[in-house]
């Protein structure tokens, strides 16, 4: 089914029957993707006396409690509440869900200290003259192991502050990346890139979001897409999310 989205004076046509899911699901599998030393998601049936919320164990329905950490158990979208003293939630901040997005692919640069990083120069090259509302960064190499990678204590690639300033300059409101964080795994709690993107606390950008732990399949070409950024209505700094891309015709 072909749909039409009128956005900022232009008409974009997309095939609503051809969504491209770039999320990594939360899972109870011990080999699921994870970070920050968290355990896999847990599902526990509710019990009440002799009653149990598990059909396989004799219950009438499946009725489970879920335990997870949105930052460490799969694709998630976060707001400035992730770093603010004030209690700010993603459900309060993200009010629009369809955006013009640019998918870019790059190989992180090796620094003298052994870290792999994304630089301003790299983003300038891959973005070119585009001015997207959302930027979706796919890093190389891009194997299927990203779907099961356990990143704790691996110091994954991250984004330099200079690169974040560049994204701010060109008007990016939504930053998506296939790493567990845009910041260094161990940066003494500074979260430099997060602070720079949200400009907190000097000029806080409440409408901006960061989505981490995505996976962009190799068959998805770089270029311009319509992004549907879906979250659950959590009153929390972050929510599990399901970013969906649509090709533009």
Q: What is the pLDDT of residues 40-63, one digit of tens each?
A: 999 999 999 999 999 999 999 999
pLDDT per position as a tens digit, 73-119 = 999 999 999 999 999 999 999 999 999 999 999 999 999 999 999 99
pLDDT band of residue 7 (cuts 50, 70, 90) is confident
pTM: 0.97
pLDDT per position as a tens digit, 173-184 = 999 999 999 999
pLDDT per position as a tens digit, 148-169 = 999 999 999 999 999 999 999 9
pLDDT at 2: 84
Domain ranges of the chain: 2-24+74-247
pLDDT at 1: 77
pLDDT band of residue 3 (cuts 50, 70, 90) is confident
Please name the residues in contact with 42: beta carbons below 8 A apart, sequence gap of 6 or more: 28, 66, 67, 68
Cis bond before residue 4 (omega within 30° of 0):
no
Q: Taking the C-alpha atoms of 112, 167, 95 and 3 in order, what is their torsion angle to the nearest 10 degrees?
A: -110
pLDDT at 240: 98
**H or E element, residue 126:** helix 120-127
pLDDT at 68: 98
CA-CA distance, 217 to 17, in Å (whole number)? Answer: 18
Asked if residue 226 lies in contact with residue 240, where contact means CB atoms within 8 angstroms, the answer is no
Residue 239 confidence (pLDDT) above 80: yes
Nearest Cα neighbor of 80 from 92, 62, 95, 65 is: 92
Q: Of the CATH numbers 3.40.50.2300, 3.20.20.70, 3.50.30.50, 3.30.70.20, which one belongs to the domain with range 2-24+74-247? A: 3.50.30.50
Give the percent of the chain with pLDDT over 90: 96
In Å, what is the CA distance from 200 to each residue of 51, 55, 194, 203, 210? Answer: 49, 48, 8, 6, 14
Residue 220 confidence (pLDDT) above 90: yes
pLDDT at 5: 83
Nearest Cα neighbor of 85 from 204, 213, 249 is: 204
Q: How is residue 8 written in tokens? A: 């900022």
Average pLDDT over residues 212-220: 98
Nearest Cα neighbor of 213 from 84, 45, 69 is: 69
pLDDT at 6: 84
Asked if residue 70 lies in contact with residue 238, where contact means CB atoms within 8 angstroms, the answer is yes
pLDDT at 237: 98
pLDDT band of residue 244 (cuts 50, 70, 90) is very high
């Amino acid at each position: 089914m072909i749909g039409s989205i009128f956005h900022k004076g232009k008409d974009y046509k997309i095939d609503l029957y051809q969504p491209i899911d770039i999320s990594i699901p939360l899972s109870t599998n011990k080999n699921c993707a994870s970070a920050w030393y968290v355990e896999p998601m847990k599902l526990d049936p509710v019990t009440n006396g002799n009653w149990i919320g598990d059909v396989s164990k004799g219950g009438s329905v499946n009725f489970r409690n879920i335990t997870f950490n949105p930052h460490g158990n799969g694709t998630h979208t976060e707001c400035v509440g992730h770093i603010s003293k004030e209690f700010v939630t993603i459900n309060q901040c993200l009010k629009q869900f369809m955006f013009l997005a640019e998918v870019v692919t790059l190989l992180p640069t090796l620094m003298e200290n052994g870290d792999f990083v994304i630089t301003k120069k790299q983003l300038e090259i891959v973005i070119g003259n585009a001015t997207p509302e959302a930027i979706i960064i796919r890093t190389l190499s891009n194997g299927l192991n990203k779907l099961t990678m356990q990143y704790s204590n691996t110091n994954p690639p991250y984004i330099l502050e200079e690169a974040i300033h560049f994204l701010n300059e060109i008007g990016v409101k939504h930053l998506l990346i296939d790493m567990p964080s845009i910041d260094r795994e161990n940066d003494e709690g500074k979260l430099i890139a997060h602070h720079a993107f949200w400009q907190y606390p000097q000029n806080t950008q409440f409408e901006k979001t960061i989505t981490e732990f995505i996976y962009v399949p190799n068959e998805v070409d770089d270029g311009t897409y319509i992004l549907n950024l879906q979250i659950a209505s959590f009153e929390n700094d972050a929510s599990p999310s399901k970013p969906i891309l649509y090709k533009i015709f």
